[in-house]
Amino acid sequence: MKFNNLIDRTSEWLKGTGPESDIVISSRIRLARNIVGLKFVDWSDTATKEKVVNISKDAISSSSYMKDSLYVDMSGLSPLDRQLLIERHLISREHAIDAECKTVFISGNEIVSIMVNEEDHLRLQVIQSGLVLNDAWKIMTTIEKDLEKKLKFAFSDEWGYLTACPTNTGTGLRASVMMHLPGIVITSQINNLINALSKLGLTVRGFFGEGTAAAGNFFQISNQVTMGMGEEEIIDNLTRVVRQIVSQERGSRRFLKARKRDIIEDKISRAYATLEAAHIITSSETIDLLSLVRLGIGLGVVKNLDIYKLNKLLMLIQPAHLQKLAGVELSSSERDIKRAELIREKLTV
Amino acid sequence: MLCDICKKREATVHLTEVINEEVSELHICEECAKDKGAQMYQHFGLADLLSSLADIPHDTAPKKGRINIKCPSCGMSYNDFKKRGRFGCADCYEAFKRALYPLFKKIHGVSYRAGKGPKIAPVAKPAMTKKISRSSAVRENLRELKTSLARAIEVEAFEEAAVLRDKIRALETRNIKADKE
Question: Does B14 touch chain A if contact means CB atoms closer than 8 Å?
Answer: no
Residue A142: closest C-alpha in chain B: B119
Q: Do A157 and B143 touch (CB under 8 A)?
A: yes
Q: Do B84 and A42 touch (CB under 8 A)?
A: yes
Q: How high is the pLDDT of residue B63?
A: 45
Q: Is the pLDDT of residue B26 over 80?
A: no
* Strand pairing category for A70-73 and A24-33: unpaired
Q: Is the pLDDT of residue B155 over 60?
A: yes
Please name which of A211, A325, A334, A326 lies closest in space to residue A282, comparing C-alpha atoms. A334
Residue B27: exposed, middle, or buried by beta-carbon count in 10 A (0-12, 13-18, 19+)?
A: middle
* Tens of pLDDT, residues B41-82: 434 455 555 666 666 444 444 444 456 889 999 999 999 999
Closest CB to B116: pick one of A36, A157, A231.
A231
Q: Do A170 and B150 touch (CB under 8 A)?
A: no
Q: How high is the pLDDT of residue B32?
A: 72
Q: How high is the pLDDT of residue A316?
A: 95
- Cβ neighbours for B152, distance < 8 A, ≥ 6 positions apart: B158, B160, B161, B164
Chain A contacts to B (CB-CB under 8 A): 34, 36, 38-40, 42-43, 119, 145, 148-149, 152-160, 162-167, 169-171, 173, 201, 225-234
Question: Nearest C-alpha of chain A: how many angstroms from B24?
Answer: 29
Question: Does B106 touch chain A if contact means CB atoms closer than 8 Å?
Answer: no
The set of long-range contacts for A296-303, using a CB threshold of 8 Å and a minimum separation of 24, is A296/A268, A296/A269, A296/A271, A296/A272, A297/A22, A298/A22, A298/A23, A298/A253, A299/A253, A299/A256, A299/A257, A299/A264, A299/A268, A301/A264, A301/A265, A301/A268, A301/A269, A302/A268, A302/A272
* Tens of pLDDT, residues A148-187: 999 999 999 999 999 999 999 999 999 999 999 999 999 9
Question: Nearest C-alpha of chain A: how many angstroms from B89?
Answer: 5
Contact A165, B102 (CB under 8 A): no
pLDDT interval class at B2 (50, 70, 90)? confident
* Tens of pLDDT, residues A16-37: 999 999 999 999 999 999 999 9
* Tens of pLDDT, residues B122-137: 444 444 444 445 566 7
Residue ranges, chain A, pLDDT below 70: 209-213, 349
pLDDT interval class at B175 (50, 70, 90)? low
The ipTM of this complex is 0.90
